[in-house]
Structure 1
Amino acid sequence: MNRFFKGAACGLALMVHQSLPASAADVTLNAIFMKQAAYSEDDTKAMAKAFEDANPGTKVNLEFVPYEALHDKIVAAQGAGASGYDVVLFDVIWPAEFATKGFLMDVTSRVQAADKDKIFDGAWTTVNYDGKTWGMPWILDTKYLFYNEDMLKQAGIAAPPKTFEELAEQAKIIKDKGIAKYPVVWSWSQAEALICDYTSMVGGAKGSFIKDGKLNFDTGGSVEAVSYMKKTLDDGITNPNSREYLEEDVRKVFSAGEAAFALNWTYMYNMANDPKESKVAGKVGIVPAPGFKGKAAASAVNGSMGLGISAGSKHADEAWKFITFMTSQATQNKYAKLSLPIWKSSYEDAAVTKGQEKLIDAAKVSLDVMFARPTTPSYPELSSILQKNIQQVLLGQAPTDDALKAATKAAGRLR
């Protein structure tokens, strides 16, 4: 008798289980993030673990790839169905393409109206396109000018440069005094990193990427920016290896005490001040990237990124719950040492500002002047055109005017 009831109970439980719809208790979210810059892999894993703990039974499968591979991995995953991604990290330059091609879900109706005014406008531009919202901003970032305080003191320089012209002048003093062979290091490899530095300078020259309603790169601020880049190489103040460097290379060179100045993202500040990672810990200064004399007081590129739901996700509700957790003020405030929060009031929170007051001071200026790279559904192709032509100038293979005219002509053929 007992065996009968025991067997019947097991059978009933099995039937009930088989008849129940899938729930959050048996959902696995596949999410793709990048390896370098902003939040570290360990921080991202800790955030995901905290989400899983708060949502029992929901698992988050994280994949980390280099930034340079992120775009193509997301594109390749489209149409992969159950084996694709639910949550994707996307750059500010991709929503036009991803929205146009149907890669992301429109989440306009999911965004809490109360949050809109609490988050920086520059952060929202990361996820907005064509009047709709395609995700939540997660990384609010721009490039700052880092400097070695000891090197400036040795050179008799009282304060860091306020213009790009002053940067070149101070770098020459440091070079002439034998303090650093190549005082300035940049990420000018033929990659998106190059376009970020270039864009910051174009903004610092009050330039524009549009002329007569069309993409244009051979006038005004664009010419001034590339001419400046080439001149710093010709004058021997820029490390020539910058033409092969990405952001992590810049961090390592600066942290090794081999450069007086570097342009890089937020994450470098705390890493360069970490004795385990850096020989210049405690000697790292940071200010907004400068502008060109008489043009702008500061410059900044919008390097922000957002989290969105892949159009092919079968778990949109769970994916959005994960995204809102990752972008929440509580989560961002807890992990504010490598990436600053998107929330305005966080900058008045002692837990966020303590130990990085100089960074916060710089951020309050830079986040208000972030200049955007060109907005176009053909951005990857456009970026490749710019990378190639600017690199030709930096390598001495083409004059600035010729290369930028070629870039403008090629851009005109894009869809």
Structure 2
Amino acid sequence: MHRVAKNTSLALFTASALTLTACGGSGGADVGAGAKQTLTVWAMGTEGEKLADVAKDYEKAHSNVTVKVTPVGWDVAHQKLVAAAAAGKLPDVMQMGSSYLGEFADMGALEPVDTKTFKQDDFFPAAWKQGAYDGTTYGVPWYVDTRVLFYRTDLAKKAGLKGAPTTMADLQKAAEAYQDKAGTKWGLSIQPSGLDAVQSFYPFLYSAGGAILDGDGKAVVNSAEAVKALENYGSYFTKGLADKTFRPGYDVTKDFNTGTVPMFFSGPWIVGLLNDNYPALKGKWAVAAVPSDKASVSYAGGSSLAISADSTHKAAAKKFIGYLTDAKGQADWYRRTRDLPANTAAWQTGELAGDADMNVFRKQMETSEALPAQPKGTEITSKVDDAIGAVSQGDSSAKAALDKAQSEIEGLVG
């Protein structure tokens, strides 16, 4: 599964997107959920491929509805959505990543969520937050994603370590011990620069009490907490504990398997990759919560499902989204895709309830944070990517790099 894309940060915002104005709600009268109709749905990447199978099952129980699912590659998703919005031809239902939603909500292209039907308390707080913009909810959480620490338990024993590091200070001591006593080349894999380096930085930033934007959408990326977090992050490169060379498409699992890298932060899909590709590694690795600074806080990603403001099939669209996001639908979706349910009730029974690894992710999701939805979300995070690269390469202090990012982000959020 295409993880960078799954977090929807690949797409770059275009000038056309920012100048669009949508005539929300001008699509005419709704035909009603019981009418014979075709519901158009766009979903991205692997989700688009898997959703077609779910749609077939849905049609069996709803004979009046034909669900036409169009899989869209993440590499062209933003462009296609922008073009469709400009032409007034968005699908009835569309997958919205966290970096998209604010942009399209700001255009007026999305229908507000019926919060009497979809309850905020049914979902992880960070997942619900990702579907909200300017005080209104536009997306129903579909699946969630967060980052935890993967570490080699066998090499930890060689290094004289007892269990996973629980604090940020312990994390760096563990990285040093892996190198010095277990003979690993690196102590920790974190992204030094390039697109989406911010995703690697988030656990450090959030755990230190920092943020890019506060709850009011104001830039706060040069706060004392954020500077401390970037100083800590940058120290791994200056001390030779992490590789400062950025390699696009880098597969950390290969180096994790050989022992070149003993620790890294990543998401739930890695569990399956390690089990499938490196069965001999079983019993030699584990997952743990993000080490605490002020707290243990990670990054929240995932996707929401939104309805076009111009759809004439809103009632049917709402029923289909309800099918996908209730506890039963979410458990089924996890079985098909291994996407983590956004609906917390889906974790209480069945396969997920007894999965120790996945429940590390569940616990982390309860405290995870997400960037507030913004029309220029991807541009905002790219400024932090630049700051991270400047620090990792020794071109700037953390304070100077984040002061620069702060100034640039202030110009983007108004």
What's the TM-score, normalizing by structure 2?
A: 0.80
Q: Distance in 2 between matches of 1:310 and 1:105?
A: 6
**2:306 corresponding residue in structure 1:** 308
**2:87 corresponding residue in structure 1:** 80
Q: Is the 8 A contact 2:41 2:70 kept in 1?
A: yes
| Number of aligned residue pairs | 378
- Structure 1 residues 124 and 141 mapped into 2: Cα distance closer, same or farther (>3 Å)? same
Matched ranges for 1:56-135 at <5 A: 56=63, 58-66=66-74, 69-82=76-89, 84-108=90-114, 111-112=116-117, 115-135=119-139
Q: Deviations over 1:107-149 (max 9, x none)?
A: 235x516x44333333221212333221210112211111122
Secondary structure in 1 matching 2:265? strand
- Structure 1 residues 412 and 123 mapped into 2: Cα distance closer, same or farther (>3 Å)? closer
**1:139 corresponding residue in structure 2:** 143
Choose which of 317, 324, 327 in structure 1 pairs with 2:325.
Answer: 327
Q: Distance in 1 between matches of 2:54 and 2:147?
A: 25
Identity of aligned residues (%): 25
Q: Distance in 1 between matches of 2:242 and 2:85?
A: 41
How far residue 321 of structure 1 moved from its aligned partner, in angstroms, is 2.9
Matched ranges for 1:177-196 at <5 A: 177-192=181-196, 194-196=197-199
- 1:352 matched to 2:363? The reply is no
**1:17 corresponding residue in structure 2:** none
Q: Kindly provide the amino acid, as one letter, of the partner of residue 346 in structure 1.
A: A
How far residue 203 of structure 1 moved from its aligned partner, in angstroms, is 1.2
Secondary structure in 1 matching 2:240? coil
Secondary structure in 1 matching 2:155? helix
Matched ranges for 1:357-372 at <5 A: 357-360=356-359, 362-372=360-370
How far residue 386 of structure 1 moved from its aligned partner, in angstroms, is 1.8
Unaligned runs of 5+ in 1: 1-20
Secondary structure in 1 matching 2:162? coil
- Structure 1 residues 88 and 49 mapped into 2: Cα distance closer, same or farther (>3 Å)? same
Q: Kindly provide the amino acid, as one letter, of the partner of residue 106 in structure 1.
A: P
Q: Is the 8 A contact 1:105 1:309 kept in 2?
A: yes
How far residue 263 of structure 1 moved from its aligned partner, in angstroms, is 0.7
**1:172 corresponding residue in structure 2:** 176
Q: Is the 8 A contact 1:148 1:280 kept in 2?
A: no
Choose which of 45, 49, 69 in structure 1 pairs with 2:56.
Answer: 49
Choose which of 198, 203, 208 in structure 1 pairs with 2:206.
Answer: 203
Larger-gyration structure (1/2):
1
Choose which of 379, 382, 387 in structure 2 pairs with 1:381.
Answer: 379
Q: Distance in 2 between matches of 1:379 and 1:78?
A: 18
Q: Is the 8 A contact 2:210 2:221 kept in 1?
A: no
- Structure 1 residues 397 and 52 mapped into 2: Cα distance closer, same or farther (>3 Å)? farther
- Structure 1 residues 311 and 160 mapped into 2: Cα distance closer, same or farther (>3 Å)? same
Q: Kindly provide the amino acid, as one letter, of the partner of residue 334 in structure 1.
A: D
Secondary structure in 2 matching 1:398? coil
How far residue 75 of structure 1 moved from its aligned partner, in angstroms, is 2.5
How far residue 251 of structure 1 moved from its aligned partner, in angstroms, is 4.4
**2:11 corresponding residue in structure 1:** none
- Structure 1 residues 374 and 320 mapped into 2: Cα distance closer, same or farther (>3 Å)? closer
Q: Distance in 2 between matches of 1:336 and 1:201?
A: 28
Q: Is the 8 A contact 1:204 1:299 kept in 2?
A: yes
- 1:283 matched to 2:294? The reply is no
**1:406 corresponding residue in structure 2:** 404
Q: Distance in 1 between matches of 2:326 and 2:215?
A: 41
Q: Deviations over 1:22-74 (max 9, x none)?
A: 98655151313234xxxx666444333323443346132232423x6544442
- Structure 1 residues 112 and 228 mapped into 2: Cα distance closer, same or farther (>3 Å)? same
- Structure 1 residues 284 and 325 mapped into 2: Cα distance closer, same or farther (>3 Å)? farther
Q: Kindly provide the amino acid, as one letter, of the partner of residue 200 in structure 1.
A: P
Choose which of 251, 259, 270 in structure 1 pairs with 2:261.
Answer: 259
Q: Kindly provide the amino acid, as one letter, of the partner of residue 327 in structure 2.
A: Q
Q: Is the 8 A contact 2:193 2:386 kept in 1?
A: no
Secondary structure in 1 matching 2:232? helix
Q: Distance in 2 between matches of 1:253 and 1:77?
A: 42
How far residue 221 of structure 1 moved from its aligned partner, in angstroms, is 1.9
Choose which of 162, 166, 176 in structure 1 pairs with 2:166.
Answer: 162
**1:317 corresponding residue in structure 2:** 315
Q: Is the 8 A contact 1:273 1:282 kept in 2?
A: no
How far residue 172 of structure 1 moved from its aligned partner, in angstroms, is 1.4
Unaligned runs of 5+ in 2: 1-30
Q: Is the 8 A contact 2:41 2:68 kept in 1?
A: yes
Q: Is the 8 A contact 2:111 2:308 kept in 1?
A: yes
Q: Is the 8 A contact 2:130 2:372 kept in 1?
A: no
- 1:29 matched to 2:40? The reply is yes
Q: Distance in 1 between matches of 2:375 and 2:49?
A: 33
Q: Deviations over 1:121-180 (max 9, x none)?
A: 332212123332212101122111111222212323111111122111111111123542
Q: Distance in 1 between matches of 2:129 and 2:343?
A: 14
